[in-house]
Each structure stands twice: as structure tokens, then as C-alpha cells.
Amino acid sequence: MKQRIYKLVVILAIFSVFNLGAVRAENGYNLWLRYMPIENGQLRQAYQHQLASIVVCNQSPTINAALKELINGINLMIGKVPNVSSITGNAAIDFKTNRLVLAKLDQPAIAAQFSTVELRQIGQEGYLIKTVRQNRVPQILIAANTDIGLLYGSFHLLKLMQTHQSLQALNIQQWPRLKLRILDHWDNLNGTVERGYAGYSLWNWQTLPGIIQKRYIDYARANASIGINGAVLNNVNASVKSLTKEYLIKTAALAKAFKPYGIKVYLTAKFSAPKELGHLKTADPLDPAVIKWWKDKVAEIYHYIPNFGGFLVKASSEGQPGPGDYGRTHADGANMMAAALKPYGGIVMWRTFVYENKKGADRAKQGYDEFKPLDGKFDENVLLQAKYGPIDFQPREAFNPLFGAMPHTHMMMEFQITQEYFGFATHLVYLGSLFQEYLRKDTYQKGPGTTIAKVLEERVNPGTDDNNRLTGIAGVANIGTDVNWCGHPFGQANWYAFGRFAWNPMASADSIAADWLKMTFTNDPGFVNPIKKLMLGSREVAVNYMTPLGLSHLMKFALHYGPGPWSKSAEVYHHADSVGIGLDRTVTGSDAVSQYAPALASKYSNLKTTPLNLILWFHHIGWDQKIATGETMWNSLVHYYYQGVKQVAAMQQIWQSMKGKIDEDRFNYVTQLLKQQHLEAKWWRNGCVLYFQQYSKRPLPKDCKEPGKAYWNYPTFKPDLPFPYHLDDQ
Amino acid sequence: MKQRIYKLVVILAIFSVFNLGAVRAENGYNLWLRYMPIENGQLRQAYQHQLASIVVCNQSPTINAALKELINGINLMIGKVPNVSSITGNAAIDFKTNRLVLAKLDQPAIAAQFSTVELRQIGQEGYLIKTVRQNRVPQILIAANTDIGLLYGSFHLLKLMQTHQSLQALNIQQWPRLKLRILDHWDNLNGTVERGYAGYSLWNWQTLPGIIQKRYIDYARANASIGINGAVLNNVNASVKSLTKEYLIKTAALAKAFKPYGIKVYLTAKFSAPKELGHLKTADPLDPAVIKWWKDKVAEIYHYIPNFGGFLVKASSEGQPGPGDYGRTHADGANMMAAALKPYGGIVMWRTFVYENKKGADRAKQGYDEFKPLDGKFDENVLLQAKYGPIDFQPREAFNPLFGAMPHTHMMMEFQITQEYFGFATHLVYLGSLFQEYLRKDTYQKGPGTTIAKVLEERVNPGTDDNNRLTGIAGVANIGTDVNWCGHPFGQANWYAFGRFAWNPMASADSIAADWLKMTFTNDPGFVNPIKKLMLGSREVAVNYMTPLGLSHLMKFALHYGPGPWSKSAEVYHHADSVGIGLDRTVTGSDAVSQYAPALASKYSNLKTTPLNLILWFHHIGWDQKIATGETMWNSLVHYYYQGVKQVAAMQQIWQSMKGKIDEDRFNYVTQLLKQQHLEAKWWRNGCVLYFQQYSKRPLPKDCKEPGKAYWNYPTFKPDLPFPYHLDDQ
């Protein structure tokens, strides 16, 4: 009778140890608001002491939301439910027990705790968190001018706990630098999400307005936790149905659900709505009947949705109707809508993503050419929403020259959180690096230091005060009905980072990543430090295996997944020929450089002073030309592609070494995804290198092994994507 | 200094109590496999004693799956991880510690624990669970002929624990009565689900084969827990793409992931594939090139998927191509495919859902007329898949006359789990009642007692033995990527019930509902008893407010949501006129009764002997005619509609009284859904009563208040549904 213990037992023993409590199964639904139990005994005790009770000084749905979040979060983290009470007057300060106090600054006793400067800075959404002492008893005071400020402050406090920070001697002042911090959902009414890779649209139109899913509330909570205060619910390729009474009623239910969390609802407005819905013969923005139609429609909207935010408009772009159809300008169109919205405090966000695929024309110039002449012509409640680059959300582009060039127009940034050009929901790419890069870009429009952040915050022109400011930033959402909301577990980090940068455009991608990792996975520095590094480098890794050195738009036509430099449509982006590769955007080429401030135009005009990561954006460079890498253009290009693949392999190794530090399910899922990413990085490398080699006709550098597969034979991924996609059958 | 304690505090205090541990937030993802901690101290201790260790006698992926489930479930429920060891030979019986033993019956020592009868009955998928004693030490022995039997047995044991049953003196014998227990997923390759209301398709074709999501494994686990052993992955309205190499490779990855859980993968096969994929000029099943094409295709399929199950075919139905296009019979078509599959053990499931919308023709007769002449003409590895009724999954239909009328053909039942005609994912409808009703229907084909269950199990003809049997049942899945898989929390019960009935067609809807409630919500009889009653009655409630007394197909055209008796297409289903309502299916009408056994035909021919719940299915009844209710037809019809609405209100009240017994999130969600269901029941009542009143021209019974809104003005719900739906704009 022999007892054979298989390796199975060892494996199961390990499994058992981990199931003895510490690492429970997680599916990502809770995002960064997991509120995991705090295991450090000292810290837990300190928190228990400090948060034994909560006092609120007023009642409202927003205060209730803050309380619910605090109670739930505190209880989950330290295993004790705080006592909650409500008081008014001076009573807030006299109690002898440790307390967390939420109070508005209209109470003199509360305001007295802060300096005039502090009080002035925080505005309508900011908050102050201070440890105050009365009779030697410390209290944590969260104070703000509004309830929403108190909600934001509550999330900040919870974040401190989630990242295991001390709550002693707090002295925090926080306020957002941009007014409109918005998610653009490219959601279609049929539930599909354009450029969405994380499931269906969150908005279940069929069961609205009657059913408010918990998902909507959790969405609102997640956004409030990072200060996002607006959501455009429908696709920029708009359906007029969104403006019908039936859908306004449904939208109103969402607006009502979001309101306690400080989130306003916006809708995209199709320019042809007066014709399609109103059965007018025209949509000419100067036509009186059209003007009246929009006026009436806006009145109807505000009847159902009193706190409606306004319209987002994609017009005269990619086939969408617009004022240009009637010989009118963008300003004509935007101002007509803005006038209708102004009495209600609504705004218009008008997209500058306008281009024509004219042969020979440089697409990168067209947004500027179209909108620069209109500077100063837009009404005060209009913002232009411009992408960070002049092409279309590429892994790297030169920054959009409109930023800084429109001093008399409200400009807002449009980032893309969904990874349309960055590997969908398969590739690990932390976009915090990208957000930071573009926000800190120096436009030089008023000398050095005129960063895009400063432009967005409207701090460039002295004398601009709050009353004249209308600032904002939008991110195209990567959110859907997938259990983990974003498809890739690390996709959540991009939603999170967008919110953090929207609140403070000069934030640090590094510390944002650290916060997110601690809240989403673990505080263990043995995980946070290496994975933060991995995240920070991941965007550049993708650039390397997709479009290095300033290349852009080599993705498969229409689908935007996988390599496709051989598409006819991609030729205009790489201009590869027997001589070399890259686009001449200097004066000898399209002269796109002239759209930048002179200091930059001159910098970009000279290959030697052009940043290495943009040389092929601005220059057509001979294959044999030596570049700043010390190697020829061809060899450098190939080396970057090969480096990208190696870097993904390195990411895989780093990730593998994290085994056991986090929950099994997400660890395994990311392991699979990285494996797939490595495969696809090779697909990119092989495809692009072999394709460009047809032009360079040069051998690969000696240290680069032959790719092996011809690009056109590589296993294809031709997924059927829901309407309105079509695939290039090459 | 006055401290005012708002009602808020009371509410929060209640909230606090519930958050002190007992009722944690749940989103339904874990289905009925929650493995909640067992609070009863005695029971927990008993389990800890009995399950201190697990012994397995062989290794395989299936055994690993069983072990993982047991370890995880046991640990979650009793807070202790069992020791696991592996032994062979006689060692299994000699140990002195309490143990759970998983062993196959090829070991004589194991087989010796059971009688010959027990051993013979369980077959290839059954299991035995017995408390055996050696040296006074009790052990729980799970024994089976195969590893999959052991997996099923493990789930059974876990179910006993989840339902808080004693594990002493176990003596269980279980085996499935039907061989093929299959979910039909009407999933399109673009991710949408036809007649699906719970999100996208689970199968992420874009990231297959590389990424195996945990969702696929949890899907497999859930199915294994109820004995489902097959999944058709794609829509009966098939795309030929599913048969391409690229998609076979992706499908193979799913098949591999499912295999340890005993689930085979099937595909729908579009009859025109030889033309669309093979570029042949014909798809004539008797054409040699076509025959060869399918033969080669099947060989290719089995190359990638060695355990492929076979094809599901919808042909010559609703526009789908089929053998009829070439003047061939269904048997010609099915047999050609079956011949290709036979060498590999594959099967063909050929749907009998064939009808033409011929004016004047009775749709209910067409399936029988089409297939009855073909009885005995199908090869041995073909089954005909027939819906429970001859129309299309209506809330109630007369049963499909094909059942019992095809003694020489393998027949399988097609149920619909997704609530296409039962309120999508909004209405609470427990279909266990429906499954039970149809499985127990007496066809009288070989005298009384020839139930559909008996027909399906092929026990009607004496002498049929296992070798000649090919039995099965299919359910059109209600599963999607929604966090809770099914949309409505109670939709899960229908998936669960389908599996349980597939295992045992003579199961009880009552005890299945009880099991499901205990596993999914709580064992508290104060919840289980009333809600079980609520569930059991819910199907009839829906019948009452939608299509009472044998009416059918009054749903809105194409969409199938909400009332639509006024559609031109609905007239053929109610035949309302100034005289009365209902379809004459006796000899004076379409004579559909003649398709039933004579005993039934005669019963249905006579209004007095026709079951009340089918009178309008078989008879056109005058508005003033007194019927078995004791009232006139008109008054009865109206009363049923009003009764349905009242019953939903009663459901709401019962549900409200359950507050606090289960988690807040699911309680609140069902509360919302019931409120919406009540609203929509009124929509149905108003719409149908007011519409039919146009024909009856009679007043409502005195006790029925005026509905208030004309049917055409009732708030409409015109959701955009993904392709291929279109809406009736009436």
C-alpha cells in the first residue's frame, strides 16, 4: 500500500496557502475602488481611531453618495462601520471624539479653519482636507464650497487609505484646473461601440428609463473618484434618434442617476437633425426655420434634462453633414447651436477633426487650415475639441498646431482612451505617458513655456479671469459592458489616468500609475515599482513595434488593428520609395512646419534639431542617411522594430516574476494577453520590416534575425466587427 | 448645540448592521456556484470533519477540474482547505481518517461497494455517491465509470453542501436520461446575439484562439454543474465563416477549454456552404462534388477539433438555403451531412422549424406535414430538433404533434431559454414550469402515458437499447456578456432548470426552483418558500397578461416585445371578428387536431373537453359563449388580462417583503424590474383588451376599470436592436 503524492499535491498545497484568505478571486469589476482590507495592524488601528465617526453638516443626494462611499470603503478596509451623525452650527468643532467631518465653507466656523488664499483657490469643485484640533482632539475636516467638492474630498481620503498613507497632520488643497472633464462615449443606440473593445455600450436604451442598473451608479462612482464631471452618451457619428423625445426621456433617467456624482450628460447633435427630425428642407444654420428648430429642440431637452451640459458636434467630417453643406463656416454652425444653448448655460464642443483625403494634400495641415482663420469667431460658450495630433490618435504625432494658435477661442483637448490604434484590448499600453507628453508640449506661442496645459487652462493671456474662462478636456472612452469595463485589465489605468490628468494637466504619469497600481492590485512595492516602470515604458514599446521614429498610420485600413503599411491608403503616411522613407513636412515638402510657432518651425525644419521620435513625421530621409542614433535610417528603422519585440518579451518576463503577488485570475489573464501581444508585435515587425525592405532593398542589420514569414502570409485576424465597420480584404 | 439625528442615521444604522459581514454585495456573476460560508456551526463542523481530506485515484484535466471545484467550494463554505492526496490500488479503502474519495469503477475495490444494478444504470456519465465504512471510519465515495462522471458527482456533493444537507449516510445514484444536453447559442460572429438580451456573445472571436478568457471556463463550470455536455456556438441563421479554417482554429481553442468539463462543441452549418465557401455551382446534397465538399470539410473540422460534436442545421426555413432548393428532401440533406460525420462519431441535428407564411394555411400544421412523411428516412446519427410547440416558442402552445408521431426517427426537444416571447430580460418568468409541462405532456401515441419525456428518452418502443438510442434536448441560450450572464437575475434560473430537466426530463420544477434559490440567494426558508411559489406561478402570470386561454403570437411584429395584436401578421393568430375569437383547428377549421393521436384529436375537437388554457388555440369561440370559467368568452378574456396585471402587483408585494433577506444590489434590481414588468403588463392588458374590444363591441366586466390609455398611445419602447432586427413602425 503505497501512497504516491503527485506533483498535483504540491501545486494544490500552494493553491491552498493562497486560498487561506489573502488573495481572493477578482474579476476587475471593482476597478480601483476595491477597498481591500488593510493588513498592517498599526495602520488599521490608526484608521479605526481616526474614523470612528463621521459627521455631516448637511443633507443631499451628493452627501449621501459621499457617506455611502465612505462607510462602505472604511468598513471594507478596516472592518468597522463608523458612526454617522448630522449636526449644524458650531457643534461640528466641539466634540471630543475623533471624527471625520464633512462640512461646507458657508459655515463661518468651518471657513475659519483655512486661509483666504486656500478658500479662494478651490472654486466650485475643489476641496480642503485638514487635520484640525479642538481641545487636543484631532479631527479630519473635509471642507468645500459645494457638496460635490465634499464628494471629491471623500474619494481623496479613501485614496489615501487605499494607498496606505497616514491620516495624521493632513493639509490638502485640491481643485481642478479644467472646467469640463468629459468622457466621450462613441456608443451607438443599437448597443455597439465604435472603436470599442470592451463589450456593449453601458446604456441599455431598451430598458431605460425604467431600469437604472447598478452599473450606471458604479460608473458614476468611478468617474467621481477621479473628478470626471461629464459624459457624452452617444457616438460622434450621431444618430438623430438621440434627440427624439423618447430618447430624451431615457437620457433624462441617466442624467438623474449621475447628478449626485457631479456628472452632467451631453449629447452629440447631428447637424442634419432639422431635416431628418424636423422635416425641414434645409439645415442651413442661418436659416430662420433651422434656428428656430434648434431653439425649440434645446428647450425640449432642458425640459427633460434641466442640468443638460450641451452638444458635441462632428460636422463636415468623414461624411457627416455640416454647415459647409450650405456654404457656411464652422463658426456659423457652432454659434447657431451655442445661441440656442446659452440661456440654459449649455455649451457647444465643436470638433476640429476635419480633413479630406485629397491626393497630394497633407492631411496634417487641414485642421489648422480650416480653423485658424476662424479664431475669435466662436461665441463664448463654444469650445473647439481638437485631437492631440493633427492626424488621428496615432501612437505618436507631432502635436496639433491648433493648440496655441487660437488665442481667442476656447480650445479643449481630445484624447483617446480606447486603444483604436494601440492594440484594442489586447496590448498593454499605459497612456499616461502619452497624456503627459502632450500636455507638457511647449507650443512656444508666447515664448517658451506656453505648454498645451497652459493653453488649455487659459492661463496664457494675462488678465483672463475665471468668468471668461471656459476650459475642458475630453477622452474617448474605453468603457463597455465587459465585467472589467475596459477589456484589458490595464486599460482601466488609462481611464483612471485620463481623469487624473483632466483634474491636473501637470500631473505626473509616474505617480498616477503608482496610485492606480496600489488601488487596483496591491501596495506591495515589490509589485508596484517594477510594474509602474513597465507601464511607463509601454507606450514607447508599442511605438517601437508599430510606428517608430515618427512614422504614423500604418495600421490595417479601416480596422486599425495589426500592420497594414502595404495598403494604398498607408502610402501617403510613409512615402517609402527607393530613396528613403518619411514625410517631408518642411518648406520643401508640405510645409506643415509653418503651422507651428517660428521657434518650432525652425527646429522641425532641420533634421539635426528635429526630435528623433518625430524625424519621419517631418522629413523624408534616405535609407543610408546617418541619423541621431548613429546608424543609417534603414538600420535604425529595423532596430526599432526589433527592439519593440524584445521589449514586449522583457515585459512578459517582468510580469512572470510577479506571480503570487496578485490574484491568480488577473495575473493569468495578463499573462495570456502579453503572450498574444508578443506574437502580434512580431506580426508588426515582420510585416513592416519586410514591406519596407522592398523599397530599401538593403539587408537587415547583422544582429536582426530574418523575420521568417512574409508579411502577407502572417496569420490574419479578420474579426467581424459590428456595424459600422468593414474590413479591408487585402 | 443641538444634535439632530436625521432619518439618514437610522437608515445608515440598518445599512451598517447588514455590512457587519452577513450580506455582501453580489452582482450575479457567480451564478448558483457562490459557495457562501455556512453559518450553521453544527453543519459546518460536520462538513469539516467529513471533508478534511480528499483522495483521488487518477489524474486528468477533468479530475483536476473536479478537485479545483471541490477545494474552492469547500474552502469558501467551511473555511478549511482539505488535504489532497492521490493513491492507487486498495489503499483507497484502508485509511483511517475521514475522507472524500473520487474513484473510478474500473477498480474492483471501488466497484465492490455497489450492486450490479447500480453499476449498470449509471452509464458513461452517471455517478454514485455513497457513505462507506471501513474500520468504522465513514468515507464519502464518489464513483463513476468516467472522469466526467466524477466531475458531475463532485458538483452534486457541492450542491448538497450549498443546500445545507447532511452528508451522513449518502446513497445516491444519478445518471442522465438524455445523451445530448445542449445549449444552442444564436450568436453571430460580430458579437451580437439574435434574440439575446444579456449582452454580447461570450465568444470573443477577435482574441481567439490566443486568449482563453476566464469567462469561458466559468461558463464550462456552470454547465458541468448541471450536466450540460454540448454547446452550439453559432446562430442557426448561420454564417459560412464559422466553417473557415481561421474560425475552426478559433473554435478549436474553445473546444479545448471546454473538454475537461465534458462539453462538446457543435457548429451550425449553412446549407449553401459548398457554394459560398467551395465555389461550387450547387449545394444539391446528391451532387457528388457537394458530397465530397462536405466530406472534406468534416475531415478538416476533425483535424482541428477531434472531439467535435456535429452540425445543427436550419434549412429551408425563413429564407435559409436547404435541400428543397434542389428538389431534395430534408432526409436527403441531413443524411448527406450525417454520412460525412459518421466516421468520426459526429451527429446532425436537423431543425423541424419549417413553415411558410402562406395565406390561409395554418402555420401550426406545416412542420408535421413536412416531416411526418419522412419518418424512418433519416440515418441513425441524425436527430430532428423540434420546438415544443408547432408555432414558435409561445408562452403556451399545444404541444408539437411531431412528438410521438415519428417512432422511427430520433427526436430531440428544442426549448427556448432566452425570453424572446416572454419579456426579454425584463420580465420575471420561471420557465421550469413550462419545461415540466411539455416534458410531461401525454402524446397518447402508444396509449396513455406516452409522455414527451418517454418519447425523447426513446423508451416507447420495447427493445430499444442503448446502442440504438440517440437522444437529446436543446435549449436556446439566454447567456451573454452581462455581468450576471442572463440579464434578469431570475433568468439564471432558466439556464439552471434547463440543465436539470435535460439530465432528468421527469424532474420537478418545484424542487429545481428550491435548489436554485438556495444556491443563488439563501437557504432561509422565509425566502425560499414564498419566492419558489412566486417563480412557479410566474409563467402563468405572463400567459395571463400576454396571451391567455390559448391565444398566441400577439407580440409586436419582428421585435417580439410588447403587444401587437393589431399587426397584420397577428390576425392569423387570433382571428378576432365580430363573432368571436380564436382559431378553429378542428375538422371544421384547419383540422390541425388530426395531427394528434386519435384520443387527443377527439379531446381537442370538443370545446368541452379542450383544456381551458388551449381553447382559443383549437376553437373559434363566440364572444357571448359561456366557457368553463362560468363566464362568457369576452368577460373571461378580459378577466385573464386584468388578473395577470394584478398578479404582477402581487409578485411585487411578495418581493418587497423579502427586503433584508438577500443582498441589497440584487434585491433592488429585481424590485426595479418587477416595477417595469407591472408597467408593461398593463401595456399588454390595455393594448390587447382595447384592441379586441373593437371586435367584441362589448363593455368590460363591471369589476374591470377602464384601462385609460388607447393602445396606440401607450408609451412605446422602440429600442434599436442590433442587426438583423428591424422594427415595426406601427
Cβ contact, residue pair A9, B190, below 8 Å:
no
Question: What global pTM score does this model have?
Answer: 0.93
Is residue A392 annotated as a catalytic residue, yes or no? yes
- For chain A, the helix, strand and coil percentages under 3-state DSSP, each to the nearest 5: 40, 10, 45
The model's confidence at residue B4, banded by pLDDT at 50, 70 and 90, is very low
Q: Retrieve residue A565's grid coordinates.
A: 503599411
Q: pLDDT per residue over A84-141, tens digit each?
A: 998 876 555 555 677 899 999 999 989 999 999 999 899 999 999 999 987 777 899 9
Q: How many CB pairs under 8 A join A and B?
A: 189
Please, are residues B398 and B605 in contact by the beta-carbon 8 Å criterion? no
Q: Retrieve residue A131's grid coordinates.
A: 487635520
pLDDT at A422 over 80: yes
A-chain CB neighbours of B75 within 8 Å are 16, 19
Overall average pLDDT of the B385-395 stretch: 97
Alpha-carbon span B350 to B371, nearest angstrom: 11
CA distances (Å), origin A146, targets A8, A60, A66, A105, B4? 59, 11, 12, 8, 21
B132: which strand partners? B139
pLDDT at A6 over 50: no
The model's confidence at residue B319, banded by pLDDT at 50, 70 and 90, is confident
The model's confidence at residue A458, banded by pLDDT at 50, 70 and 90, is very high
Distance from CA of A5 to the nearest CA of B (A): 6
Nearest to A229 by CA among A167, A148, A311, A157: A148
Q: pLDDT per residue over B427-470, tens digit each?
A: 999 999 999 999 999 999 999 999 999 999 999 877 667 778 99
Alpha-carbon span A548 to A397, nearest angstrom: 11
Q: What is the pLDDT of residue A317?
A: 86
Top-confidence residue, A9 or A646: A646
Angle formed by the axes of helices A61-78 and B7-19, nearest 10° = 30
Q: What is the pLDDT of residue A94?
A: 56
- Strand locations in A20-175 (E): 53-56, 83-86, 99-104, 127-134, 137-144, 171-174
Alpha-carbon span A399 to A421, nearest angstrom: 17
A-chain CB neighbours of B481 within 8 Å are 199-200, 481-483
Question: Residues A561, A566, A571, A576: is their CA dihedral positive or negative?
Answer: positive
Helix, strand or coil, per DSSP, at residue B206:
coil
Q: What is the pLDDT of residue B730?
A: 22
Helix, strand or coil, per DSSP, at residue A361:
coil
Helix, strand or coil, per DSSP, at residue B186:
coil
Cβ contact, residue pair B676, A210, below 8 Å:
yes
A-chain CB neighbours of B425 within 8 Å are 207
Cβ contact, residue pair A722, B720, below 8 Å:
no
Alpha-carbon span B58 to B713, nearest angstrom: 67
Catalytic site residue from A106, A318, A524, A706:
A318
Please, are residues B580 and B623 in contact by the beta-carbon 8 Å criterion? yes
Nearest to B81 by CA among A17, A640, A3: A17
Cβ contact, residue pair A720, B189, below 8 Å:
yes
Q: Retrieve residue B466's grid coordinates.
A: 442503448
Cβ neighbours for B430, distance < 8 A, ≥ 6 positions apart:
B490, B493, B494, B497, B509, B513, B535, B536, B538, B539
Alpha-carbon span B554 to B542, nearest angstrom: 13
pLDDT at A696 over 60: yes
Alpha-carbon span B31 to B328, nearest angstrom: 45
Cβ contact, residue pair B3, A87, below 8 Å:
yes
pLDDT at A610 over 80: yes
B169 in contact with A, Cβ within 8 Å = no
Please, are residues A85 and A173 in contact by the beta-carbon 8 Å criterion? no
Q: pLDDT per residue over B158-190, tens digit each?
A: 999 999 999 999 999 999 999 999 999 999 998
Q: What is the pLDDT of residue B567?
A: 83
Alpha-carbon span B139 to B100, nearest angstrom: 6
pLDDT at A730 over 80: no
Question: Residues B695, B696, B698, B700: is their CA dihedral positive or negative?
Answer: negative
Cβ contact, residue pair A246, B718, below 8 Å:
yes
Q: pLDDT per residue over B582-621, tens digit each?
A: 999 999 999 999 999 999 999 999 999 999 999 999 999 9
Tell me, what amino acid is at B525? P
For chain B, what is the mean pLDDT? 91
Is residue A729 annotated as a catalytic residue, yes or no? no
For residue B496, count other CB atoms closer than 10 A to its CB. Answer: 24
Q: What is the pLDDT of residue A720?
A: 40
B65 in contact with A, Cβ within 8 Å = no
Cβ neighbours for B499, distance < 8 A, ≥ 6 positions apart:
B181, B223, B225, B226, B227, B228
Q: What is the pLDDT of residue B441?
A: 98
Share of residues in chain A with pLDDT > 70 (%): 92
Overall average pLDDT of the A191-219 stretch: 94
Helix, strand or coil, per DSSP, at residue A233:
coil
Nearest to B423 by CA among B638, B197, B236: B197
A326 in contact with B, Cβ within 8 Å = no
The model's confidence at residue B556, banded by pLDDT at 50, 70 and 90, is confident
Q: Cis ω on the peptide bond leading into residue B724 (within 30° of 0)?
A: yes
Distance from CA of A87 to the nearest CA of B (A): 5
Catalytic site residue from B420, B515, B540, B584:
B420
Q: Catalogue all structural domains in chain A, each as residue range(s) with its CATH number.
A: 2-174 (3.30.379.10), 180-508 (3.20.20.80), 541-583+620-711 (3.90.1330.10)
Nearest to A326 by CA among A358, A284, A387: A284
Alpha-carbon span B468 to B466, nearest angstrom: 5
Please, are residues A720 and B205 in contact by the beta-carbon 8 Å criterion? yes
Tell me, what amino acid is at A144? A
Where do the H-state alpha helices sit in B474-560? 491-503, 509-520, 525-546
For chain A, what is the mean pLDDT? 91
Q: Cis ω on the peptide bond leading into residue A288 (within 30° of 0)?
A: no
Q: What is the pLDDT of residue A4?
A: 41
Cβ neighbours for A447, distance < 8 A, ≥ 6 positions apart:
none
- Map grid coordinates 428538389 to a residue: B327
Nearest to A157 by CA among A73, A96, A262: A73
Please, are residues B536 and B432 in contact by the beta-carbon 8 Å criterion? yes
Cβ contact, residue pair B206, A67, below 8 Å:
no
Overall average pLDDT of the B686-707 stretch: 92
Top-confidence residue, B12 or A696: A696
Please, are residues B659 and B666 in contact by the beta-carbon 8 Å criterion? no
pLDDT at A645 over 70: yes
pLDDT at A724 over 50: no
A-chain CB neighbours of B716 within 8 Å are 246
For residue B516, count other CB atoms closer than 10 A to its CB. Answer: 27
Provide the residue count of chain A.
730
